[in-house]
């Protein structure tokens, strides 16, 4: 690889890492808002007996945008280029963010869902542009490692988002209600975070206008729609449906699981979902190292640093919090050790996968089937740790499913393939809503059987479906 190629790779990867961080934070902040929205709009009074279903529409509407616009975004990005596609996405994210202010001011749940839909459409542009760009920046063999690295930074954002939602939004709202505030006053805590998000996104979009990105060119004689004739694209798209559905569905059940089965306070439950996303982040850092082309000694050296980092992540998440409106820090290193131990299991299973993308994906898919089943079958005190551990093994799924789904494609086919695969991110809309309906009509634990089926398909795709041509 020439020095110019190395420079292009660094510039492109740096740029994409920031975009992955942005849409990771936005996506998870919305997911974490489910309990706050249920509280602010008093969904229990509006929709008695169906409050979980309607609360899950926060996720449902967000991910439904992928179904509506991913394919269209792929076609638009093919015409206007990756850079302009990203700027368009950031503009829509900012517009959606600012719409939250009037929606909460008048306590209109439909308008609130509309703001989420606009913001999500912007995220669709970002997602559709970012993934194929990272794949096309280098060789196919190292594509899973590059995607895992950028997704790891996405994981940093997804870990921070629910933590901030818990300690900066939900906790003050709960405290305000306990002090006699109205639902309208409690709802006001939702406004400012989205105004801040919108303003930051506008500044990023302005900055990107002045960045020169490396161009990705393909074979112009290849028809862009030819990607739709490739079986791996469609099988990978179904894999993405199952992965995103299972990930979001399991994550959105965690706080309810802790509140209803373990009698935990809402703000504490929301904060602890950061463990789930923190595991996702750590696993992706492992994936970026173990699925790459580094020598073994360097892989193990970097993995040791990641393991130490995992200890501090677990320790800090459990030690810091808010109580009665005040920030507190109670050192709990034992939880850092528990988090470190789960990280080591994650690393060992990564070693078992021998750096092969589909084998590692198959091992992680089967592991998550067992963990979610354990959450269903075992007592809640043990089951919750199994469910929180699922995040570790979700880690490499999106990067590996996506890279396997677009393997052997020409760069000119990438935007349409990406749009097709991203369309099925609608699984994040369908699966959580189905789980919410099962929770209301059967039980919270019964809803966990849905992600078990999803992880079953992912295991099939990894070991068999990804090889079909």
pLDDT in tens, 166-183: 666 666 666 666 676 666
Is 349 within a domain?
yes
Assign residue 325 a region: left if phi > 0, alpha if psi is -120 to 50, beta otherwise?
left
- How many C-beta atoms surround the C-beta of residue 120 within 10 A? 28
Q: Determine what percent of the chain is predicted with pLDDT higher than 90.
A: 23
Lowest mean pLDDT among 137-141, 264-268, 359-363, 378-382: 137-141
| Span of 107-111, 152-156, 215-219, 449-453 with lowest mean pLDDT | 215-219
Give the mean model confidence (pLDDT) for residues 201-206: 85
pLDDT, average across residues 128-142? 73
Query: Looking at residue 390, what is its pLDDT?
Result: 95
Q: Which two tokens stand for residue 107?
A: 């306590």
Instruction: Specify whether the CB–CB gap between 327 and 320 falls below 8 A.
Output: yes
- Residues 251-265, mean pLDDT to the nearest whole number: 85
DSSP-derived 3-state class of residue 323: strand
pLDDT for 348 equals: 94
Angle at the Cα of 390 from the Cα atoms of 235 and 386, rounded to 5 degrees: 140
User: What are the structure tokens assigned to 466, written together?
Assistant: 């990804």
Contact 89, 430 (CB under 8 A): no
Which alpha helices (DSSP H) does 179-223 contain, by range? Answer: 183-187, 191-208
Q: Is residue 25 part of a domain?
A: yes
Q: E strands along 283-341, which residues?
A: 320-323, 326-329
Q: Of 34-43, 52-61, 341-350, 423-432, which range is least confident? A: 34-43
For the record, the structure tokens of 350 come out as 């990564």
Report helix, strand or coil for 30: helix
Spatial separation of the C-alpha atoms in residues 409 and 151, rounded to whole Å:
21
Buried b (16+ CB within 10 A) or exposed e, 265-284: ebbbbbbbbbbbbbbbbbbb
74/70 Cα distance (integer angstroms): 6
Residue 321 has pLDDT above 70, yes or no: no
Question: Could you say which DSSP state residue 212 is in?
Answer: P
Q: How far apart are CA 298 and CA 270, in angstroms?
A: 37
Q: Which residues are paired to 321 by β-bridges?
A: 328
Q: Is residue 219 part of a domain?
A: no
pLDDT digits over 398-438, tens only?
888 988 988 877 777 777 888 888 888 888 888 988 998 89
Q: What's the confidence (pLDDT) of residue 167?
A: 65
Here the tokens at position 49 are 């007996």
Residue bearing the bigger pLDDT, 168 or 332: 332
CA atoms within 13 A on the CB side of 334: 1
Q: How many domains does the chain have?
A: 1
Question: What CATH number is associated with residue 230?
Answer: 1.20.1250.20
The predicted pLDDT at position 313 comes to: 86
Residue 218 lies in a domain: no
Q: Which domain holds residue 28?
A: 3-210+224-467
Is residue 453 within 8 A of residue 239, CB to CB? The reply is no
pLDDT at 200: 85
Distance (Å, whole) CA 28 – CA 154: 10
445-460 burial, b if ≥16 CB within 10 A, otherwise e? bebbebbbebbbbbbb
Integer Cα distance of 13 and 393 in angstroms: 24
**Mean pLDDT, rounded, of the chain:** 81
C-alpha 231: how far from chain center:
25
The reported pLDDT for the residue numbered 378 is 93
Three-state secondary structure along 344-382? Answer: HHHHHHHHHCCCCHHHHHHHHHHHHHHHHHHHHHCCHHH
pLDDT above 70: percentage of residues in the chain: 82
Structure token digits, residue 218: 């393909």
Q: Which of 67-81, 130-144, 215-229 has the highest mean pLDDT?
A: 67-81
> Tell me, what's the pLDDT at 56?
73
466, pLDDT greater than 70 = yes
Query: Residue 224 has what pLDDT?
Result: 58
For residue 247, the SS3 value is: helix
Q: How confident is the model at residue 374 (pLDDT cuts 50, 70, 90)?
A: very high
216 occurs within a structural domain: no
Is the pLDDT reported for residue 2 higher than 60? no
Is residue 152's pLDDT more than 60?
yes
Q: Give residues with Cβ within 8 angstroms of 160, minimum separation 6.
A: 25, 274
In a domain? residue 217: no
Mean pLDDT of 457-466: 92
Least Cα distance to 402 among 187, 240, 282, 213 occurs for 240
pLDDT at 447 over 70: yes
Q: Is the pLDDT of residue 1 over 60?
A: no
> If 0-12 CB within 10 Å is exposed, 13-18 middle and 19+ buried, where does residue 469 land?
exposed
- Domain assignment present for residue 215? The answer is no
For 115, half-sphere exposure in the C-beta direction (CA atoms, 13 angstrom radius) is: 25
Residue 444: other Cβ atoms inside 10 A: 20
Over 80: is that where the pLDDT of 28 sits?
Answer: no
Residue 57 lies in a domain: yes
Place 40 in a pLDDT band, splitting at 50, 70 and 90: low
- Whether residue 452 has pLDDT greater than 80: yes
Band of residue 303 on the pLDDT scale cut at 50, 70, 90? very high
Question: Residue 305's pLDDT is what?
Answer: 93
In this predicted model, what pLDDT tens digit does every residue of 261-297 receive, in sequence order? 888 877 677 777 778 888 888 998 898 888 777 788 8
Least confident of 76-80, 115-119, 321-325, 425-429: 321-325
Between CA 417 and CA 413 the distance in angstroms is 6
């Amino acid at each position: 690889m020439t020095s110019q190629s190395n420079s292009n790779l660094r510039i492109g990867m740096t740029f994409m890492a920031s975009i992955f961080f942005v849409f990771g934070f936005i996506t998870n902040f919305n997911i974490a808002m489910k309990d706050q929205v249920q509280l602010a709009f008093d969904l229990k009074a509006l929709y008695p007996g169906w409050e979980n279903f309607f609360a899950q529409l926060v996720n449902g509407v967000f991910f439904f945008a992928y179904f509506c616009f991913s394919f269209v975004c792929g076609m638009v990005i093919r015409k206007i280029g990756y850079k302009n596609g990203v700027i368009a996405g950031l503009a829509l994210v900012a517009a959606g963010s600012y719409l939250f202010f009037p929606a909460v001011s008048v306590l209109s749940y439909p308008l609130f869902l509309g703001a989420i839909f606009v913001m999500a459409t912007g995220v669709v542009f970002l997602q559709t542009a970012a993934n194929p760009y990272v794949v096309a920046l280098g060789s196919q063999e190292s594509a899973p490692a590059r995607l895992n690295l950028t997704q790891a930074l996405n994981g940093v954002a997804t870990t921070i988002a629910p933590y901030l939602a818990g300690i900066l939004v939900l906790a003050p709202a709960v405290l305000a209600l306990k002090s006699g505030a109205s639902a309208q006053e409690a709802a006001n805590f939702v406004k400012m975070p989205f105004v801040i998000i919108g303003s930051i996104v506008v500044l990023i979009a302005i900055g990107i206008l002045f960045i020169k990105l490396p161009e990705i060119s393909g074979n112009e004689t290849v028809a862009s729609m030819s990607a739709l004739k490739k079986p791996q694209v469609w099988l990978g798209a179904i894999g993405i449906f199952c992965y995103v559905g299972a990930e979001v569905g399991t994550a959105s059940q965690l706080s309810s699981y802790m509140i209803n089965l373990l009698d935990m306070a809402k703000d504490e439950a929301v904060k602890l979902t950061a463990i789930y996303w923190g595991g996702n982040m750590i696993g992706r850092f492992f994936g970026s190292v173990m699925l790459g082309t580094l020598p073994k000694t360097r892989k193990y050296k970097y993995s040791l640093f990641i393991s130490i980092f995992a200890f501090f992540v677990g320790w800090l998440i459990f030690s810091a919090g808010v109580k009665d409106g005040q920030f507190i820090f109670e050192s709990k290193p034992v939880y850092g050790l528990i988090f470190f131990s789960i990280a080591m299991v994650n690393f060992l299973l990564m070693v078992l996968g021998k750096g092969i993308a589909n084998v590692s994906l198959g091992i992680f898919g089967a592991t998550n089937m067992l963990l979610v089943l354990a959450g269903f079958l075992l007592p809640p005190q043990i089951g919750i740790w199994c469910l929180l551990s699922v995040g570790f093994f979700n880690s490499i799924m999106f990067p590996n499913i996506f890279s396997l789904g677009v393997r052997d494609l020409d760069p000119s086919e990438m935007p349409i393939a990406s749009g097709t695969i991203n369309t099925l991110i609608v699984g994040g809309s369908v699966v959580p809503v189905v789980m919410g309906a099962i929770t209301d009509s059967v039980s919270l634990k019964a809803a966990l059987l849905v992600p078990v089926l999803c992880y079953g398909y992912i295991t099939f795709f990894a070991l068999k479906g990804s090889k079909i041509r």
